[in-house]
Amino acid sequence: MLDLFSEIWSTLRQNKLRTTLTGFAVSWGIIIIIVLIGTGNGLMNALMNNANDTVQNIIAVYPGVSSKPYNGIKEGARMRFNERDIAFSDQFSEKIDRAFGSLEFSDTISYGKEALSSEVFGVDPMIKDSWRVRIVTGRFINQSDLKDNSKHIVIDDDAASQLLGDDKDYSKLLGKYINVGNIPFKVVGINEAEEQSWGHDSYIPYTTARTMRTEGAWLNRITLEFHDLQTKEANEEFENAYKRAMNTFHGFDPEDTRTTYMRNYYIGNQQMSKAMRIMRLALWILGFLTLLSGIVGVSNIMLITVKERIHEFGIRKALGAKPISIMKLIVVESVIITAFFGYIGMVVGMAADYFLDKTIGSHPMDMGIMQLYVFKNIGVGFDVALEATLLLIVAGTIAGIIPAWKGAKVRPIEALRAEK
């Protein structure tokens, strides 16, 4: 085996330029496939970043307007949600685990001379888990706040820092009073701001928000947590049944589909996951096609090598060398080229992913009213990079088989007559 490697090394050293150019094609192919998959992962991570802020098995129900007159109700009449609609959802208890509403309005929150605009949510404490509100200090709204109509508020850390004059130590605001409009609220908790939020979000007790709403205590949204709806068809059937029942409950046409709008996070995440699987497959195919160009280069080089050494192979066979030994010589040479330069390509590709992650993957784009990640956590796992490299080595082995077979089946007489 040592003699075999010594002979291959001697051959490669005699053709340095050709070996280097072939190796570059192989390395470039593996670099491209790792960078493609890494940036693809970064793009998909950015897309999933916002979806992961919400529990998957929930449906958000929003009021709409009627699209047709029905039983004295005119076209364009707005549906109004109230607390009775939360209790109404109990009739779907075989699918709905719990239902809760929220009151939402925009207002100015201020502290001292600092002020900013915020979306204010009057909520039930259960929303914390469903909306995945991450408390970084203090606490969230609790049942005592609801019962006492307390003027307690939870704001995001970005808003807290701005209210403190861009002080990064937002915990200083905990326990202080800030104004929502002209009404003072005590800050009892600070949550982590959503990276893709269009603004600031603040949370107060639902019962307190109800007393502040001058236009009426109408719910802006009803959140349903459900179970046993695993397929798209089951979700659509449930949504249609819920809409018909809600329309009947409010006196609208049962078949009017515009009176309520439902955002199903479970179906949305399923569709996104499917799109991501297709995207990941497309990236692998594109990367493999790029890799294939390097493999074709290896195969062509090995064919040239066989042609140049045809006289040598003839002498070997005349001296009793078996075809399998000649095939082994050529295939091993092909594998060494692809393995060595493939490993270099893997290291460079992972380094490129690391560089891209630290430059464009770790910093969101500031769009004024929001920060948006285009790429997030760019890179591939070592296992994926190793799989791509092993795929390259297997392909390199296959690339050497055809030239090896051509060299092994040459007849000694014809080979000896060939030009040196």
Instruction: Answer yes or no: is pLDDT of 101 > 50.
Output: yes
- What pLDDT does residue 15 have? 66
Which of the two residues, 102 and 53, has the higher pLDDT score? 102
Q: What is the DSSP string of 65-113?
A: B-SS-BTTBPTTPBP-B-HHHHHHGGGGTTTEEEEEEEEEEEEEEEETT
- pLDDT per residue over 372-397, tens digit each? 666 677 877 777 778 777 877 777 77
Q: Are 118 and 109 in contact (CB under 8 A)?
A: yes
Q: Phi and psi for 189 in degrees, rounded to 5?
A: -160, 155
The pLDDT value recorded for residue 110 is 94
Share of the chain above pLDDT 90, in %: 26
CA distance 336 to 21: 15
Query: 199: pLDDT confidence band, cut at 50, 70 and 90?
Result: confident
Residue 256 φ then ψ, to 5°: -75, 115
Q: What does the pLDDT read at residue 8?
A: 60
205 or 268: whose pLDDT is higher? 205
pLDDT digits (tens, 9 = 90+) for 348-362: 988 888 888 887 766
* Range with the largest mean pLDDT of 127-131, 192-196, 373-377, 416-420: 127-131
Range name among 114-123, 259-268, 393-402 with the lowest pLDDT average: 393-402
- List the chain domain ranges: 2-52+269-417, 96-226
Q: Is the pLDDT of residue 145 over 90?
A: yes
**pLDDT mean over 145-173:** 90
Token reading at 159: 């808003």
Determine the longest span between alpha carbons in the chain, in angstroms: 104
Count Cα atoms within 13 angstroms, Cβ side, for 356: 23
Which of 156-170, 210-224, 312-326 is least confident? 312-326
- What are the b/e assignments for 271-300, b being 16+ CB within 10 Å? eeeeebeeeeeebbeebbebbeebbebbbe
Confidence (pLDDT) at 285: 81
Look up the pTM and report it: 0.63
pLDDT band of 117, cuts 50, 70, 90:
very high
Average pLDDT over residues 290-311: 70
Tokens standing for residue 413: 């007489």
Confidence tier at 365 by pLDDT (50, 70, 90) = low
Whole-angstrom distance, CA of residue 63 vs CA of residue 365? 33
- What local confidence, expressed as pLDDT, does residue 383 receive? 78
**Band (369; pLDDT cuts 50, 70, 90):** very low
Position 160 scores a pLDDT of 92
Mean pLDDT for the chain?
81
pLDDT for 366 equals 57
Per residue in 28-86, pLDDT (tens digit) is 878 888 888 888 888 777 766 655 555 568 889 999 999 999 988 899 999 999 888 88
Give 137's strand partners: 190
Q: Quick check: 200 pLDDT over 80?
A: yes
Averaged over 97-111, what is the pLDDT? 90
Give yes or no for residue 171 having a pLDDT over 70.
Answer: yes
Average pLDDT over residues 211-219: 76
pLDDT band at 259 (very low <50, low <70, confident <90, very high): very high
H helix or E strand, kind and range, residue 188: strand 183-191
